């Protein structure tokens, strides 16, 4: 029996590949809203962050999330990411 394939995604901050389950997903919904998606199943265009604080700072400085989602990211989303998610994952 073959081992199950683990889906990999690239972090927009550091450009490294990680297993999808370990990353933080940020989604631009079909309505144009930007939300943090802890389930990884929300409809819309997604971009991933690995959760390291230096990677988050680099992604914010270079506007990597804005480029990946083709929309301006509100400050509330960055604050939510920083308070709840960044630095809390094992990536």
The total domain count for the chain is: 1
Query: Which whole number is the average pLDDT over 59-85?
Result: 93
**CATH code: domain of residue 69:** 3.30.1230.10
**Residue 62 sits in which domain range?**
8-85
Q: Model confidence at 89, in pLDDT bands (50, 70, 90)?
A: low
Q: Is residue 91 part of a domain?
A: no
> Is the separation of the CB atoms in 30 and 24 below 8 Å?
no
pLDDT (tens digit, 9 = 90+) per residue, 17-51?
A: 999 999 999 999 999 999 999 999 999 999 999 98
How many whole angstroms separate alpha carbon 59 and alpha carbon 81? 12
Taken in order 12, 20, 86, 26, is the CA torsion positive or negative? Answer: positive
Can you point out the beta strands (E) in 8-80?
Answer: 8-10, 17-19, 24-28, 34-37, 45-49
Q: Is residue 1 part of a domain?
A: no
Query: Which whole number is the average pLDDT over 64-84?
Result: 93
Indicate if the pLDDT at residue 59 is higher than 60.
Answer: yes
Q: Is residue 30 part of a domain?
A: yes
């Amino acid at each position: 029996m073959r081992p199950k394939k683990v889906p990999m995604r690239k972090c927009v901050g550091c450009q490294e590949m990680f297993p999808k389950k370990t990353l933080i997903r940020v989604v631009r919904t079909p309505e144009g809203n930007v939300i943090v998606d802890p389930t990884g199943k929300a409809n819309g265009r997604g971009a991933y962050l690995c959760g390291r604080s230096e990677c988050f700072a680099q992604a914010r400085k270079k506007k990597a999330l804005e480029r990946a989602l083709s929309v301006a990211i509100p400050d509330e989303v960055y604050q939510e990411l920083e308070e709840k998610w960044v630095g809390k994952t094992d990536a």
